[in-house]
Amino acid sequence: MIAGMRCAVCGTTVDIAVPFPWRCPNATEDDPYHVLHLVEGLDRPSLLDDPNPFVRYGPRLAWWAFARANGMTSAACEALTREVASEFGITPFERSAALSAELDLDLWVKDETGNVAGSHKARHLVGILLHLRAAETIGMLSDRPPLAIASCGNAALAAATLAAQAGWPLDVYVPTWMDDAVGERLDQLGARIHRCARRPDDPAGDPAMLRFREARSAGAIPFTVQGPENGLCLDGGRTIGWEMADQAAGAGIELDRAVIQVGGGAFAACVGAGLGREVRLDTVQAEGCAPLADAWERVVAIDRPERYWSQVMRPWNDPRSVADGILDDETYDWIADVRVMVESGGAPIVAPETDIVRAHEMATAAGYRVSPTGSAGLAGVLSERSRIHSGHRVAVVMSGVAR
């Protein structure tokens, strides 16, 4: 069971019973370079026999430990999960005969396109919502401050879907170039959309993220998939890695490698945490936006690189790729990504745009209704193919339904 949280930068700890542990207590506007990571206790809670991953793995999650530490029973936690996360189910993880034959590899695909809002993003967010609903139940939250997120794609749609189901107000901060179809769906779900043009006095970085942070400072709840903004996004996302590990064991196989696409970085961090260090995890970014790979060269040359965050993780200038969902100019969860790669023997992959496009064509032809962002893990396999042993079992995740 989760015992608490600890800042990966300054070492400050937060007890699991403390409500709303979004950010390190030492994070400030002048020093934002902190991130809370989960601290595992000595016990390993048993799984519950249930097809809903948030029920099945519930006792392993931080929100559940918070609720239990504040007097909620396991039965009450399970009931709240069924109320808040009723739409989740364990998603398929199967060998793709078509892709395996084309690549001359044993390729296994976790298909998240049928998950809530069409991607893995809701897994990261529902744990935050469950923490909030538990706090309401316990009596620690009497009103509902607005939720806030900076996104114009899958994360925004996941946030809006969950917020609408919970009846919780949501503000979505988006760039001016947001796709109209995404905007229409956000409108239908009742989200309040804020288009964020760059202001003359804005510092470097995404203006939508700047406006989101202003809202957070004004009291909005960071309902987001960036660990430095809300460490609990690194909690529920682990369910995808746990599922993959359990499904591989159920199929009688052992995975050699997982190749996971990276934007902000929480996804890869969670898959790696769920799979464990026995499975090599490589991260993938597009050649038009690869801040993690760029930082990797500095990380391996520095002792405790997290102490030099701003020097190590530098914003990418002019991100470009058809995989627009992984064009975060910074890999916000780089510390967790570096950790899972180092522990598992993995490394960053930079995929040429031709491989991004080709991977999407291959995934679509193989029957996956996925976007170029969602098939970018496969692009990493293409880019690394000459260095992957033909007998290895390689896993990718298709996440982000084509719209």
Are residues 247 and 383 located together in one domain of the fold? Answer: yes
Are residues 183 and 255 located together in one domain of the fold? Answer: no
Rounded-to-10 torsion of CA 14, 18, 20, 23: -10
Query: What is the full per-residue pLDDT of the chain (403 aa) written as tens digits?
Result: 899 999 999 999 999 999 999 999 999 989 999 999 999 987 888 899 999 999 999 999 999 999 999 999 999 999 999 999 999 999 999 999 999 999 999 999 999 999 999 999 999 999 999 999 999 999 999 999 999 999 878 999 999 999 999 999 999 999 888 888 888 999 999 999 999 998 988 887 788 999 999 999 999 999 999 999 999 999 999 999 999 999 999 999 999 999 999 999 999 999 999 999 999 999 999 999 999 999 998 998 888 999 999 999 998 998 999 999 999 999 999 999 999 999 999 999 999 999 999 999 999 999 999 999 999 999 999 999 999 998 899 999 999 998 7
What H or E segment, with its residue span, contains residue 285?
Answer: strand 280-286
Are residues 248 and 290 located together in one domain of the fold? Answer: yes
Picking from 304, 225, 309, 229, the residue whose alpha carbon sits closest to that of residue 270 is 225
Percent helix, strand, coil in the chain (nearest 5)?
40, 15, 40
226 domain-assigned? yes
Picking from 173, 160, 177, the residue whose alpha carbon sits closest to that of residue 211 is 173
Give the pLDDT score at 367. 97
Are residues 100 and 135 located together in one domain of the fold? Answer: no
403 domain-assigned? no
97 domain-assigned? yes
What H or E segment, with its residue span, contains residue 394?
Answer: strand 393-398
Q: Which domain holds residue 390?
A: 93-118+237-398
Q: Rounded to an integer, what distance in angstroms lies between the CA atom of residue 358 and that of residue 123?
A: 28
Are residues 196 and 281 located together in one domain of the fold? Answer: no
Give the pLDDT score at 42. 78
Which residue among 186, 205, 234 closes a domain? Answer: 234
Give the pLDDT score at 35. 98
Instruction: List all residues 6 or more positions away from 321 whose beta carbon is below 8 Å from its beta carbon.
Output: 286, 287, 288, 289, 327, 353, 356, 372
Q: Rounded to an integer, what distance in angstroms lies between the CA atom of residue 144 and that of residue 135?
A: 11
35 domain-assigned? yes
Give the pLDDT score at 46. 86
Picking from 189, 84, 171, the residue whose alpha carbon sits closest to that of residue 132 is 84
Q: Rounded to an integer, what distance in angstroms lies between the CA atom of residue 185 and that of residue 168?
A: 17
Q: Rounded to an integer, what distance in angstroms lies between the CA atom of residue 153 and that of residue 298?
A: 30
- Number of other CB atoms surrounding residue 71 within 10 Å: 11
Instruction: List all residues 6 or more positions away from 167 whose beta carbon is below 8 Å from its beta carbon.
Output: none
Count: domains in the chain: 2
- Cα angle 153-116-209, degrees, rounded to a multiple of 5: 30
What H or E segment, with its residue span, contains residue 326?
Answer: none
Which residue among 213, 234, 255 closes a domain? Answer: 234
Q: Rounded to an integer, what distance in angstroms lies between the CA atom of residue 93 and that of residue 128?
A: 26
pTM, two decimal places: 0.95
Instruction: List all residues 6 or more positions away from 92 whose beta carbon is below 8 Å from its beta carbon.
Output: 109, 110, 111, 114
Which residues are 106's β-sheet partners? 393
Give the pLDDT score at 140. 97
What are the tokens at 190?
């009742």
111 domain-assigned? yes
199 domain-assigned? yes
Q: Are 241 and 271 in contact (CB under 8 A)?
A: yes
354 domain-assigned? yes
Q: Which parts of 85-152 fold into alpha helices (H)?
A: 97-103, 121-138
Which residue among 234, 258, 279 closes a domain? Answer: 234
323 domain-assigned? yes
Radius of gyration of the chain (CA): 20
Tokens 């982000």 correspond to: 400
CATH of the domain at 335: 3.40.50.1100
